Structure 1
């Protein structure tokens, strides 16, 4: 059924983490360069994170993450999805997105295939909204959302970057979600904000000034500055509570009554501030930061999968997703009434 009264369900979620956990000693035991951001709360290192192998791609991660969905729902259901939405960071091939290769590898023939380039750390919320819109306004009946993050093992382990404070925080991983028209876990509402005034404030830079496609000797890194970090901290602290507050107002639910708040996880400071601002206690704000680090867009689906598998999310819980992207150019929140709980392994 299509139309305003149709429902779309976040029916299931799964995830994959590559390799063995990498301890913070991988970075702290490496010779450091002068870095005035080393003591910044933005870059306090998690205990662990995962890194992709040198020959491991975004598509490899997605394929591994989808396997449990195939086990639970059957190969025909997953291969028959009508909508495939993909966000990858970093793209393995800038000219071509990963979506068509994912479709080929999994045997999919979707009517809708979109490689999402924006919304970064909050792209899971962005894609929930896109999938919900497509499933309620077209004949499409199911969707697969894929968030793959490989920047930690590709970008931040380079010798010229590994010595910087920013390198110790990111981790790699992949989260995927299976959405269906109807279904057990309805998406109640989604709110998003595109904030063009902050666009371009996060950039890849190299010491030699060359662009990423040019031959160079200096490695690429994120162009963080003290003033830029201060701006990101202020925006992030504000934008996520605003987005979640707006969503909860539309749902008629006080933020303090959220059963499970799942956010992106840039650092512990953001996580602490967001739950304090929203009145959500720590036991209702699951995260995987100390096990996985900042997984950018993959953090929300990976954390959801982990929380469901470990019993942190129960049948009937109101699950609210909230996050912001890059230096604040996107923020969004989504609410789901979860009825897809699975027993812990």
Structure 2
């Protein structure tokens, strides 16, 4: 079996940080479950006016291209793009991203599901293609862009949920190499929870219908409490499944990189795995909940700051929506590939 490596990561945070005080002026009290789920971060970033998913993807990959050279694009045969809020009707923005990068990959996948764990979902798909086809390398790009477009609306920003999301984008470059091998991936589609995260407005209308009322997440207090319970259980389970197969105890992981939904999940996950907090990097207070882009953004920060040791095992893990998808992925990190690393 061909070994596939996570060769490099890069990310992008749009605009200037927006403080919690900005949202506090609009908001009033929240229920107990909402207060836990939507305890606001100190800062977050919002997509700029007129900034498109392709803009964000291009800006996220720019640091990688500066390190590696644009030549890496010449061998990209697989492009997987997850856009939280596609800017184009009927189709996603993968084609526009490819055109912006000047590539025409044989496999171009717009990934609609996977949510906060779409980074793992996309890498699993790309890895399978790399292992079983002649494709040379892959890019997996996640774009998160609802904070400045949905949650900053006047009516929504007054809700507890409005202060949590942040915008950003992340990129993973996968190669056929043993430099930073992907050791194992676990994904679970928990379809009995599908559809529980809904979009609602007041007065009620479908999101494409004209009318008054801004759309927002339709979580009730009881539903939020149930999602908190599920999330606390789902993520440690998928991490333990991968750890068992690679024969590494969860407490021995060098780094745990998760999605960044709120402080409660972040604390409960590393405590459940008996992992010190310092080995579970946290970008929540700087970026908010960046959904599917949280993992590459957080790992990019960890690598850049030097907190991820070369040769160590990093575990990526997270869950999506109200719990309809979860995934975990272990990588033995060998450092960012040098520009002239040759495939094995």
Q: Aligned runs of 1:47-86 on 2, under 5 Å?
A: 47-86=42-81
Q: Aligned runs of 1:178-217 on 2, under 5 Å?
A: 178-217=173-212
1:288 aligns with 2:283: yes
Choose which of 22, 27, 36 in structure 2 pairs with 1:26: 22
8 Å CA contact 1:19–1:52 kept in 2: the answer is: yes
Q: Aligned runs of 1:1-345 on 2, under 5 Å?
A: 5-30=1-26, 32=27, 35-36=30-31, 40-341=35-336
SS of structure 2 residue aligned to 1:45 = coil
Compute the displacement of 1:184 (Å).
Answer: 1.2
Over the aligned positions, Cα root-mean-square deviation in angstroms equals 1.4
Compute the displacement of 1:37 (Å).
Answer: 5.8
Query: Structure 1 residues 29, 249: CA separation in 2 closer, same or farther (over 3 Å shift)?
Result: same
Please give the alpha-carbon distance, in whole angstroms, between the structure 2 residues aligned to 1:266 and 1:220.
Answer: 20
Identify the range of structure 1 (180-189 vs 43-52) with the bigger mean alpha-carbon deviation. Answer: 180-189
8 Å CA contact 1:313–1:341 kept in 2: the answer is: no
Please give the alpha-carbon distance, in whole angstroms, between the structure 1 residues aligned to 2:146 and 2:56.
Answer: 13
Task: Tell me the alpha carbon deviations over residues 114-134 of structure 1, each in whole angstroms, 9 at most, x when there is no partner.
Answer: 000111000111111111100
Query: Structure 1 residues 83, 226: CA separation in 2 closer, same or farther (over 3 Å shift)?
Result: same
8 Å CA contact 1:11–1:183 kept in 2: the answer is: no
Please give the alpha-carbon distance, in whole angstroms, between the structure 1 residues aligned to 2:144 and 2:296.
Answer: 12
SS of structure 1 residue aligned to 2:31 = coil
8 Å CA contact 2:184–2:246 kept in 1: the answer is: yes
SS of structure 2 residue aligned to 1:319 = strand
8 Å CA contact 2:10–2:297 kept in 1: the answer is: yes
Query: Structure 1 residues 55, 7: CA separation in 2 closer, same or farther (over 3 Å shift)?
Result: same
Q: Give me the TM-score of the superposition, normalised by structure 1.
A: 0.95
Query: Structure 1 residues 111, 264: CA separation in 2 closer, same or farther (over 3 Å shift)?
Result: same
Compute the displacement of 1:40 (Å).
Answer: 2.0
Please give the alpha-carbon distance, in whole angstroms, between the structure 2 residues aligned to 1:234 and 1:38.
Answer: 11
Q: Report how many aligned residue pairs link the two structures.
A: 338
Query: Structure 1 residues 37, 105: CA separation in 2 closer, same or farther (over 3 Å shift)?
Result: farther
Compute the displacement of 1:255 (Å).
Answer: 0.5
Q: Give me the TM-score of the superposition, normalised by structure 2.
A: 0.96
Task: Tell me the alpha carbon deviations over residues 152-203 of structure 1, each in whole angstroms, 9 at most, x when there is no partner.
Answer: 0000000010000001010000010110011411000101000010000001
8 Å CA contact 2:33–2:224 kept in 1: the answer is: no
SS of structure 2 residue aligned to 1:276 = helix
Compute the displacement of 1:216 (Å).
Answer: 1.3
8 Å CA contact 2:33–2:221 kept in 1: the answer is: no
Task: Tell me the alpha carbon deviations over residues 221-270 of structure 1, each in whole angstroms, 9 at most, x when there is no partner.
Answer: 00010111011001100000000000000111110000000000100000
8 Å CA contact 1:16–1:64 kept in 2: the answer is: yes
Compute the displacement of 1:94 (Å).
Answer: 3.6
